[in-house]
Amino acid sequence: MSEEDLTPEQIQKQYDAAMDSVNLLNSSKPEGFTDSDWTDHRARNVEHLEIMVAKPYWTDAQDIAVLQAAIDANS
């Protein structure tokens, strides 16, 4: 199934996964993480969001500005 064939439910699942990254980036460093671990973890989540923002299938049902704001705040 290509990205053009995603159902609204599949698109929402993709958005929910992106929001997991947003929520992680908006939280504080987890206990037990070193500063280096946290920096790496944040970078991977920013990269995930950058990939997701570029997807062509978003609709008005998803607020992509929230994803972009998390990227901007953590880049």
Residues in the chain, total: 75
CA distance 18 to 15: 5
Closest CA to 68 of 39, 40, 46: 46
CA distance 58 to 1: 16
Whether the model clears a pTM of 0.85, i.e. scores above it, the answer is yes
**Structure confidence by residue, pLDDT tens digits, 44-73:** 999 999 999 999 999 999 999 999 999 999
Label residue 1 by pLDDT band (50, 70, 90). low
Confidence (pLDDT) at 23: 97
